[in-house]
Amino acid sequence: MRQILASLSLIFILGTSTYAQKINANYRLPIKKATSEIHIDGVLDEKAWQEADVATDFFMITPMDTSFAEVQTDVRMTYDDQNLYIIVVNHHLIDGPYMVESLRRDFSFGKNDNFLLFMDPFDDQTNGFSFGANAAGAQWDGIMYNGGSVDLSWDNKWTSKVKNYEDKWIFEAAIPFKSIRYKKGITEWGINFSRLDLKATEKSGWAPVPRQFPSASLAYTGILAWDNPPPQAGANVSIIPYALGGVSKDFNNNGENVYRKEVGLDAKIGLTSSLNLDLTVNPDFSQVEVDRQVTNLDRFELFFPERRQFFLENGDLFANFGYTSIRPFFSRRIGLNAPIQFGARLSGKINKDWRVGAMNMQTGAVEEEALPSQNFTVLALQRQVGARSNVTGIFINKQSLNYNPDENSEQPIYSQFNRNVGLEYNLASSNNLWTGKVMALQSFAPDNSGNGFVHAANLKYTSGNLTWNWQHEYVSENYTAEVGYVPRRGYFKIDPKIGYRWFPQSEKILSHGPDFGTRFFFNKDWEQTDNTTFVAYNLKWRSQSTFMLWVAKDFIKLQRPFDPTNYSGETLDPGTEHSWYAWGTEYASKPQSLFTYSFSTRMGGYYADGDRYNVSTEFGYRFQPYVSIAMTTNYNRINLPEPWGNTRFWLVGPRVDLTLTNTLFFTTFVQYNEQIENINLNTRFQWRFKPASDLFIVYTDNYLPAPFYTKNRSLVIKFTYWWNA
């Protein structure tokens, strides 16, 4: 307990320390108003560009962070009354073609030659926006949170062009002021530029960033110095209507064709340059890609991230409260089994120190399941403290409306309400070496049946060589979060980890070193129920290929019945104890190759003195930049005593991405999941005929593998248009 209290004290002391100025405050790029019209064509020929200041002499981040970059990059920025402009000359160091996956937007960072802009328009080193492109012209845009994380599900309206030359490629873009949020009157924005050149295996940044941190780290931005405050965006209203038609059929139950004819509307209203109101009426989320299936051998519910646009901007205020396994709010719970009728969300900055988020969503009733209409309210208020830390309070309420359950009914009984109140302190030191969190939650439910408490904290130190993290969690048995993701209750967890990396002076090896961790779970009587202890050794080559070897020991005392195959229906008894040793490997090939591959293996013991063997692979080949082919496989062999015997599962997922242009995409994705006896076929056509305006055609089939039989089928056509008032 003394160690925990000492850790919490250190979190507070580190988080409230301040520095006289930003780390990279001496890196300044002046930006002046354009003296000529800018044409987005990838050609550096306008007068405004000739007069603009140049950010050059980038610093290397990897493989080393102690010298200037060998690859030259030149950046210029300007603006007019409507747009922020950027043009980047990405010079070649090594002859040969660029490396990209495809023309699909929001590409994988490490698998593409690319240039990215990281922008902190509040200069708070915590929140911002990212824009960029790969060398073939595929766009990248995302919203930034937690000082360096980028959510690529965010999508907005902007234009860009990439033009390739023999010795360079040029990226030019116009970002409307209406598409971003920024503090009124501020004349200094945090900014940094990142360049990845796979042929040279070099990542660089304009303002230097230590190699243990991502180039997106807002703690290390330089300064974009405006000649005058950025212009106000003026009337900032975006109307985004959609129209949808579709048909589906349930063959399993000999169903008839079910037709869909729907219209809906989203609206984005900029109340100020930094505060936004989102409205939605009868929303539909058909454009969301199908979730990637996984073989589930876990005792707890799996997590799939939110991708729906309405929930994303400033979504960290709601979704990032807590930890990965303690989320009091998880937006995918809304509209899961009932249609969303309407909703509103207010979010953004009140001033430099305060952020606010308020959301209300209303769902309709589902008579077949006796599911009442429900209202969801979430309120969050965040205050920045110290250098880059903050304190956040949150309130979550799920309320059933006009609901009088009949206890004698065979239909499920839903709760009248579920509420959560929480407070969280997030640490981020000015140099990003220290990060951490302290949080507490209290839940409320009818008749006190779901009244429970949560406390958790962690403290992490990340230097150039050494990384260590202490984390502990407590979740009471009665804690409930019906709009959250808390797969496990009634436990106390202690989870320390430590790792070290050496960076040798080698032409082939970038880094290598060990990781060690142990995780303990205890019940309310402080009886140990779980423990996993592991040792791993990591190796990273300068070519960016990676290898890891690990060894682990597991102990589990089951708290409830569990089927170790998640398939047979036969379960192990509560209270039974199981322990085993296992080892495995992970490898990923260098991303520069047209043919890429990765694999992971796992061998060792399993429940009931059994054995489990697992091999996962992923193969990819690209005919850049137009075609990307991938094949993922996952094979599990589980050997157990009777009544389970020997069980084998295959999960196979071929995928073809066809990107005819950077506005025309076609994807076919097949998933064969032997564990749930299903074959899923999903094909999706997308035409982005204008920025942020799309036509989607989505076709989905689900089959029973043997005998080959159609379970259900659907076809959806959807049209969306983004109109700025």
Burial 205-237 (b: 16+ CB within 10 A, else e): bbbbbbbbbbbbbbbbbbbbebeeebeebeebe
Low-confidence stretches of the chain (pLDDT beneath 50): 1-8, 16-20
- Residue 569: the pLDDT is 87
Which tokens belong to 624? 């850049």
- Residue 492: the pLDDT is 97
Helix, strand or coil, per DSSP, at residue 241:
strand
> What is the separation of C-alpha 103 from the centre of its chain, rounded to a whole number of angstroms?
21
Element holding 47 (H helix, E strand): helix 47-51
- Residue 319: the pLDDT is 87
Longest dimension (CA), the chain: 80
For the domain bounded by 21-226, which CATH number is listed?
2.60.40.1190
Cis peptide upstream of residue 707 (ω within 30 degrees of 0): yes
Burial 437-450 (b: 16+ CB within 10 A, else e): bbbebbbebeeeeb
- Residue 273: the pLDDT is 82
For the beta carbon of residue 570, count every other beta carbon within 10 angstroms: 14
β-pairing verdict for 610-623 and 627-639: antiparallel
Which tokens belong to 535? 């040792």
CA distances from 683 to 436, 594, 668, 686 (A): 42, 24, 4, 10
- Residue 21: the pLDDT is 64
- Residue 19: the pLDDT is 42
In the chain, domain spans: 21-226
- Residue 11: the pLDDT is 52
